[in-house]
Amino acid sequence: MTANRSQYQLVSTKEASEILGRSPATLKRWRYEGDGPKYVEIRRRIRYDVSVLQEYIRTNTRVPSVRAALEEIRGGL
């Protein structure tokens, strides 16, 4: 079975770290701890699928509470 080449857009740890706004060392630590976005390992090279990174961002996006919004408006309580 041949996979469609455009099915996955794989990027390096450095590129993934830029997408996530974290350091490459943080992504390495997350892999070690079993945390962070899923990754692909091919012949000992780590790659991240861009669609997985985007989903990771979506699932970790938080809506601020009403209190946090009021604090921001008032300049902190």
Give pLDDT, residue 29: 98
Give pLDDT, residue 32: 96
Domains and CATH numbers, the chain: 9-74 (1.10.10)
DSSP-assigned letter for residue 6 = G
Note the pLDDT tens digit of each residue in 18-74.
Answer: 999 999 999 999 999 999 999 999 999 999 999 999 999 999 988 777 777 777 777
Q: What single-letter amino acid sits at 36?
A: G
CB 36 within 8 A of CB 27: yes
